[in-house]
Structure 1
Amino acid sequence: MYPVCETNRSGWLQVSPVHQIYWEESGSPTGKPVIFLHGGPGAGAPPVCRSFFNPEIYRIIIIDQRGCGRSTPYACVEDNTTWDLVADIEKVRDMLDIGRWLVFGGSWGSTLALAYAQTHPERVAGLILRGIFLCCQHEIDWLNEAGGASRIYPEQWQQYIAPIAVDKRNRLVRAYHELLFGDDEQQRLQAAKAWEDWESYLVQFEPEPVSNDAYGALAIARIENHYFMNLGWLEGGRAILANIAQIRDIPAVIVQGRYDMCTPMHSAWALYQAWPQADLRIVQGGHAATEGDVAAALVAATDRFASAYHW
C-alpha cells in the first residue's frame, strides 16, 4: 500500500434538504480520477482509504455516505437509500467536473459501486471490487441470523444475541430494528454496540478486542439495519445480477478473500458466473481491505488500471 497522502481540499455537499455529505480530494489534481466507496453501509471512510492509490497518478475522491463518518446528520436513515447514494455520487462527480472515473468499492461499497455503474455506465472507466455483497436475503441471514456465521464464532454470537429477548431471536434483524430505533437511548446504544462488535469479529481474520465507543457504533448499526430490513432496495428488476448487461463491457477486477467470513465467496462466484468478462482474483485472506494478500491484490489492481487504461 502507498503512504497515506495529505488531503488537497475537502468540504460538505448538500445533497438533500436533510443530508450533507463529506467529500475530499487528494493525490494528483490532474491525475486519473477515482472514487472510493466505503462499506457498511454506515462505516465511513478513514484516511487509510487513500493508500490503495498511487498519489502521483490518481486524483483520489473519497466521500462519507449519508448519515455516517463526517457527513451530517449522524446516524440518520431519513432519505437514505441505495438510490439516494447513487444520486449523491453523481452530484459529487458533477461538482468536481469529472467526466469518467474509476470506481473502487469493497463490501457494501462493492454493492454501491455496482448499482452506480449499472445506473451510469457511461461515467465508469473501470471497477475494482472487493468482498462482494449483493444485498440478498441469504447474505443478510448468513451475517445476522442463526445458522450462518454464528457457527464459526459461537462465543461472539452469544454476545450478539444477548440484547435480544429469547422469544425474538428467530428474527434478529427485525428485533434489532426495534431496539436501534426505539425510544430508550440506553437500549439503542447497547444494541448498536453489540451489532458493531459482532460485525467487527467477522471483518477481522481472527477475533480481537473491539472499540468501547457505543455512540460511534450508532451509524453503522442503524444504517446497516435499515438497509438490511429493505434488502438494499435491490429486489426484482433492480437486483445486481439482473442488470449485468449494463456493465458487461466495463473493465473490472474482483478481489475476494477465500476465508472472508463477512461476505463469503459465494456472492463473488455468483457475480463472476454472471459476468465472466470480469477478472476474479481469489486470495488467501479474509474480509479486511488492509489485510496482507487482499491489500496487495487491490493495489496491484489500481496500478494495473493506472498503466493499462486511459480515461
Structure 2
Amino acid sequence: MTDSAKAWLLAARPKTLSGAAVPVMIGVALAYSDAAQYGEGTFSWVAALLCLLFAFAMQIDANFINDFFDFVNGTDDAETRLGPRRACAQGWVKLDSMKKAIALTTCIACVIGLPLVYYGGFEMVLVGMICVLFAFLYTTWFSYQGLGDLLVLVFFGLVPVCCTYYIQLHEFTWELVLASIACGLVIDALLIVNNFRDRDNDRQAGKNTIIVRLGAKAGLQLYIGVGVGAMILGGTFLLNGHLLAFVFPFIYLVLHFITYLKIKRIYQGKALNLCLGETARNIFIYGVCVSLGLLLV
C-alpha cells in the first residue's frame, strides 16, 4: 500500500474538508446576504469558489504537514496512537514522498489563491503567506505550547470568514467579526475532543495542549463552553435582522450537547473517535444552519 492512491487519500483526510468549508460557507452567505444593499453585480461566485478551493488546498497541506512532523517528532506512534491511523506512522507513505507532497500542495494552494488578488487586492498575497507559514508553525510549535486552540480561532474563524466576506464587499462589520469568532469556537470543538482523547500520550510526548495543561475536567467544560459561546455570539445575527441565522443553530447546540454527554461517559480511549466524527458532523450542521439562516431572508 506504500505511496498508493488509497494511502494518499487517507493522508489527505477528506473528512476534515467539511471543517475547511464551513468558514467559507458562512463568509459567502454573509456577503451574499449583504450584497443586496450594494446593488446587483457586487457578488462574485468565481471568487467564492476560489476561496473554497484555497481552503481545501490549505487543509490538505496542513494535514500532510501534521502527518509528517508528528511522526518525525515522535508524537504519532503506530503502537500507541488512539486516533485514526496516520500515513507516515503506518509506513503507508514514505517520508521523502510526503516532503514532495507538502511542497506540491503548498504550491497548488498559492496558485489557487493568487487570482483572489484581482478581487481582494494585493493584501490577499500577505494573507496567503501567513496561512502557509502558520500551517507549518501550528504542528511544529504552537500545538506543543497549548496554543493550537488560538490558531483555530484565527485560521478557522477570523481569517477565512472575514477574508471571504472582504473579497466580495471590501469592508468589515461587527456582525462579521463576531460571526467569525463563533465559527472558530465551533470548529475548535474538534481540536478539543482530539486533544482530550490524546491527553496521556501528548503529556508523555511533551505536547502541552490546553487539555494537558488544564486537565480532563476542564477539557470537558471547554468542549461544552465553545458551543454555548458560539450561540451567545450568534446573537449578533438576531441584532442585525437575521432571525433564522440565530434560531437554526439551536439544532447544532442540541447535537453538540448530546456529543458532550458521550465524551463525558466514554472519557478515554479509542472509543472517543466516535465523538470526533460526531463533532465533525455537528460543525458541518452548524455551518449549514447559519448559512441557510442568512440566505433565507
TM over 0.5: no
Structure with the higher fraction of residues in strand conformation:
1
TM-score (norm 1): 0.30
Of structures 1 and 2, the one with the larger relative CO (CA 8 A, separation 6+) is 2
Structure with the higher fraction of residues in helix conformation:
2
